Amino acid sequence: MLELIRSLAVENTTKIVLLSLDGLGGLPRPETGRSELETARLPNLASLAGEASCGLLRHVAPGITPGSGPGHLGLFGYDPIAYQVGRGVLESLGIEFDLRAGDLAARGNFCTVDGNGLITDRRAGRIATDVCVRLTERLRTIRLPGVELFVEPVKEHRFVLVLRGHGLSGPLTETDPQALGKAPLPVRALDPAATRAAELVNAFIDESRRRLADAAPANMILLRGFDLLPALPRFPEVFALRAAAIAAYPMYRGLAKLVGMDVLKTGGTFADEIGTLREHWQAYDFFFVHYKDTDKAGEDGQFDAKVAALERFDAYIPSVRELRPDVVIVTGDHATPSILAAHGWQPVPVLVWSRYCGADPVTAFTERACAAGTLGLLPAHHLMPLAMANALRLTKFGA
């Protein structure tokens, strides 16, 4: 499919803005029977929906709850089942570690083991982040033959391990036995090509045990999510777009960078992001703009806070329209219903606005209204081709 798009993509002067509200979709609150989107006052989104084609995006497959990685890859046009990104890679992107092709990345936890080496706490009592920083400095001094090692603190007991060198390969099994009272497992190669990587990682684990012997409760490590940085077709080449990402959070900047977008420097608020959009308007054809507040409120189970986050977002729509984009898309990377207080599997409302988007009967941007839209229930990775078509950037298929 990406090859088909690549063969049909043409350049012109149109501009596409993809506004992604993290965790956009919700569920009705039992007391009122209305979802967050149905409760919020969203006059600008409603008016945009009235002029747009609407539908629901399904990011992975029915019933599958997308993580941030698959959620965004889908929005960027990549089938998230065909293009899988390991957790180690995602964690590295989340701290903006400069991963390179061929790097093998894993998530790490400090943990506690007893005198027999059996795990007594899989998270080492959630040590403070500054303790984590100090202990990763110890692990960084480990040397392995033929590879460069990076051990980067994340938060509390979490860190990232990256091996850089020729001929490394994943995937490897994880070392966490997922139970107390057991010893950490050695890693095993899940592919014959990964044998050398497995040996190196096991050597790293042995050496870590020695260096952390006096560091209880963080006297051992657990590693998982080993995989290589995947080679993804580059977004700017597939779609023939000068593409920019505007996101305040590292994870989303990392995901945009992974597919080859330019990641623009921006401030910590959505107002800053919209300012960045305005500032770089002439230099790019495509903008991915990320709004985080909806997901945060949903994850916290704060229905009213999510309603408020939606209303704050709505107020920025006129600033985007003032720039006179040719295509505006509003959607999200997954649902985060407040009553779930977690990512959900529910399809996510989407609207596509352009001069040529066609009319549909939808005049409100809600889960229920969008279900009756002409876009129907759309796999997320079909959204980019639709955006391209609306920007008149795809030629005819066949004569």
Nearest approach in angstroms of CB 38 to a second copy is: 8
Considering only residues 1, 95, 203, 364, which one is a binding residue for a second copy as defined by CB under 8 A? 1
Report whether 331 contacts 349 (CB < 8 A). yes
Tell the smallest beta-carbon distance from residue 10 to a second copy (Å): 12
Nearer CB in complex with a second copy: 277/352? 352
The residue (of 264 and 335) whose beta carbon lies closer to a second copy is 335
Return the residues of window 194-253 that contact a second copy according to CB under 8 A.
Answer: 225
For residue 35, the minimal CB distance to a second copy (Å) is 7
Provide, rounded to whole angstroms, the least separation between the CB of residue 45 and a second copy.
19
Please choose, out of 16-24, 271-279, 293-301, 335-343, the segment that lies near a second copy by the rule CB under 8 A.
335-343
Q: How far is the CB of 221 from a second copy (least distance, A)?
A: 19
- Report whether 194 contacts 175 (CB < 8 A): no
| CB contact set of 68 (below 8 Å; sequence gap of 6+) | 22, 90, 251, 252, 255, 333, 334
Number of residues that bind a second copy (CB under 8 A): 69
Q: Report residue 125 as tokens.
A: 């009592």
Q: How far is the CB of 337 from a second copy (least distance, A)?
A: 7
Q: Closest CB to a second copy among 273 and 360?
A: 360
Least Cβ distance, residue 325 to a second copy (angstroms): 17
Closer residue to a second copy, CB minimum distance, 316 or 345: 345
Task: Compute the least distance from the CB of residue 200 to a second copy, in Å.
Answer: 24
* Backbone φ, ψ for residue 20 (5° rounding): -110, 115
The residue written with tokens 């991915």 in the block is 288
Residue 339 in the binding site for a second copy (CB under 8 A): yes
**Cα 253 from Cα 256, distance rounded (Å):** 5
Dihedral angle computed from the Cα positions of residues 314, 315, 321 and 326, in that order, rounded to the nearest 10 degrees: -20
Rounded CA separation 389/129 (Å): 47
Cβ proximity to a second copy: between 95 and 183 the closer is 95
Q: Is 363 in the site for a second copy (CB under 8 A)?
A: no
Q: Which residue in 115, 145, 192, 398 binds a second copy (CB under 8 A)?
A: 398
Part in contact with a second copy (CB under 8 A); list of ranges 64-72, 121-129, 137-145, 166-174:
64-72
66 lies in the binding site for a second copy (CB under 8 A):
yes
Alpha-carbon gap, residue 331 to 340, rounded angstroms = 19
**Amino acid in position 315:** A
**Beta-strand pair 119-121/104-113:** antiparallel
In which region does residue 376 sit, left (phi positive, over 0), alpha (psi from -120 to 50) or beta (all else)?
left
Closest separation between CB of residue 203 and a second copy, Å?
A: 26
Q: Which lies closer to a second copy via its Cβ, residue 162 or residue 200?
A: 162
Instruction: Pick the binder of a second copy from 39, 104, 346, 350 (CB under 8 A).
Output: 346
Number of residues in the chain: 399
336 is written with which tokens?
């985060």
- Give the SS3 label for residue 58: strand
| DSSP category for residue 183 | P
DSSP 126: G
Binders in 76-105 for a second copy, by CB under 8 A:
80-81, 84-85, 87, 90-91
Helix or strand run (H / E) with residue 17: strand 16-21
67 interacts with a second copy by CB under 8 A: yes
| Sole binder of a second copy in the list 39, 344, 348, 365 (CB under 8 A) | 344
CB 381 within 8 A of CB 235: no
Q: How far apart are CA 95 and CA 81, in angstroms?
A: 24
DSSP 8-state code for residue 57: E
Q: Which residues contact a second copy by CB under 8 A?
A: 1, 4, 8, 27-28, 30, 33, 35, 56, 60-71, 80-81, 84-85, 87, 90-91, 225, 337, 339-340, 342-347, 355-356, 358-361, 367-368, 371-378, 382-390, 394-399
